[in-house]
């Protein structure tokens, strides 16, 4: 029997929620992600499609989940890699169709080599196919010319509400990422390389039987002002801040933490001013994560604090309303220094499904118990910026603070609460392992 992260009953319930909204003459086909070549005959590490993980827990490549109605009930199946001794000598023993049919929450399983034949026996010109196109070229070829619909919107409405077991996995992921950040803070010293901090963090992920949920961002000095900085190849000088945005995943479920700290263990006065402002905004954003409120309530809470703080520091000369944007459109001049959203949903994808991003209409989705999201305000004063005037006092400073938050009826629960972020805590930790 396969060791899956969820009981078969939970997978079956997920399938049932999808299938109750699919017409009985429809056919569901969910392919996994394709293998991607890194160089020549070397592939990137494979990561299964999140929808396949969600519906049945299947994590191997070259696979498709299928559901069809036989007139009485829905029947589910997996198409998987067949047993192949030659391939298994090189790459490991495969589960095969027989193992998939007995160990996974499906009614039957087939070899992926039979996909074309099995599908053509089922479909007619009138069959509506619910599938994700662009992932499996063989499947796309079979379905060419047929009517297709995307099932992801149906699944997404359920994926964004986490079960008790999903929350447990996300808490485990948050605990591993928290420990990794603490270890990195303790190991930091002036002159350390960004890549060394990355190695400390991702080494802890691997040591904890986990893996990163997105490429780690480690930006020292001015590099901290680049939102998705990814080179991680510079030495961090004495007096610089380092911004680390890194998370891991457990059974596919992600964590996402950002912490910023002085590489020498002591914030300068300008660094402290910006850090305290971002922390105040983050705490306001977390407090706004109340069940029943709309997504933009959180963004407005952080934006109001940041806008007022930028005014108080003399960086902006206008009212809070003008700084945020007339009419509450969040496009005022404070956006010169805070360019991204306050957060995003979190789950099987680090930027998880269900909305909650910039551009959402009507204030974004309403927060409900069981949702997990990030709160991550920041301020960035890149000395390299030529499009705006950067105050000399804050030039080269980039600060972001990010936590993972579970929505409950009793208020927000911070899954990453054990990751230090108070100034005195951080200063006491920096370099303490040396």
Smallest Cα–Cα separation from 387: which of 324, 339, 341?
339
Catalytic center residues: 41, 228, 245, 256, 340, 344, 351, 376, 380, 400, 402
Contacts of 306 (CB under 8 A, 6+ apart): 277, 278, 281, 334, 337, 338, 377, 379
Distance CA 70, CA 304 (A): 56
CA-derived radius of gyration, the chain: 24
Q: H-helix or E-strand containing 398?
A: strand 397-400
Smallest Cα–Cα separation from 373: which of 288, 300, 434, 280?
288
Report phi then psi at 131, rounded to 5: -150, 170
Q: Both tokens of residue 367?
A: 């927060």
Distance CA 15, CA 251 (A): 19
The 10 Å Cβ neighbour count of residue 362 is 9
Q: H-helix or E-strand containing 252?
A: none
Question: What are the angstrom distances between the C-alpha of 97 and each of 6, 83, 128, 152, 168?
Answer: 21, 8, 26, 26, 31
Half-sphere exposure of 283 (CA within 13 A, CB side): 8
Distance CA 322, CA 73 (A): 58
Burial class (CB in 10 A: 0-12, 13-18, 19+), 30: buried
Smallest Cα–Cα separation from 130: which of 15, 245, 42?
15
Distance CA 366, CA 345 (A): 12
Report phi then psi at 156, rounded to 5: -60, -35
Under a CB-based contact definition with an 8 Å cutoff, are residues 81 and 62 in contact? yes
């Amino acid at each position: 029997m396969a060791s899956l992260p969820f009981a078969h009953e939970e997978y079956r319930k997920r399938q049932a929620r999808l299938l109750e909204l699919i017409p009985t003459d429809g056919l569901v086909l969910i392919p996994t992600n394709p293998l991607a070549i890194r160089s020549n005959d070397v592939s990137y590490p494979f990561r299964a499609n999140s929808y396949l993980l969600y519906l049945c827990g299947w994590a191997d490549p070259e696979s498709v989940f299928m559901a069809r109605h036989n007139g009485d009930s829905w029947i589910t199946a997996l198409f998987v890699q067949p047993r192949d001794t030659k391939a298994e000598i090189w790459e490991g023993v495969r589960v095969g169709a027989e193992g998939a049919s007995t160990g996974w929450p499906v009614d039957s399983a087939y070899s992926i080599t039979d996909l074309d034949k099995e599908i053509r026996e089922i479909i007619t010109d009138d069959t509506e196919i619910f599938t994700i196109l662009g992932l499996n070229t063989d499947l796309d070829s079979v379905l060419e010319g047929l009517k297709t619909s995307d099932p992801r919107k149906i699944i997404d409405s359920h994926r964004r509400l986490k079960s008790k077991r999903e929350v447990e996995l996300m808490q485990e992921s948050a605990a591993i990422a928290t420990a990794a950040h603490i270890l990195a803070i303790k190991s930091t010293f002036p002159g350390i390389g960004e890549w060394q901090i990355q190695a400390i963090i991702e080494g802890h992920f691997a040591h904890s039987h986990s893996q990163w949920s997105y490429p780690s961002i480690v930006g020292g000095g001015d590099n901290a002002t680049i939102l998705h900085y990814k080179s991680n190849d510079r030495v961090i000088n004495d007096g610089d801040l380092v911004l680390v945005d890194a998370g891991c995943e457990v059974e596919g479920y992600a964590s996402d933490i950002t912490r910023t700290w002085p590489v020498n263990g002591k914030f300068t006065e300008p660094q402290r001013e910006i850090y305290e402002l971002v922390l105040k905004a983050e705490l306001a954003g977390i407090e706004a994560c109340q069940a029943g409120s709309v997504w933009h309530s959180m963004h407005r809470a952080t934006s109001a604090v940041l806008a007022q703080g930028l005014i108080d520091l003399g960086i902006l000369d206008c009212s809070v309303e003008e700084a945020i944007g007339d009419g509450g459109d969040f496009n005022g001049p404070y956006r010169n220094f805070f360019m991204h959203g306050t957060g995003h949903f979190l789950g099987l994808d680090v930027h998880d499904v269900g909305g909650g991003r910039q551009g959402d209409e009507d204030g974004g989705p309403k927060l409900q118990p069981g949702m997990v999201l990030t709160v991550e305000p920041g301020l960035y004063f890149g000395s390299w910026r030529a499009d705006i005037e950067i105050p000399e006092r804050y030039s080269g400073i980039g600060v972001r603070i990010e936590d993972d938050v579970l929505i409950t009826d009793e208020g927000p629960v911070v899954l990453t609460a054990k990751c230090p972020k108070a100034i005195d805590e951080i200063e006491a930790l920096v370099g303490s392992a040396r």
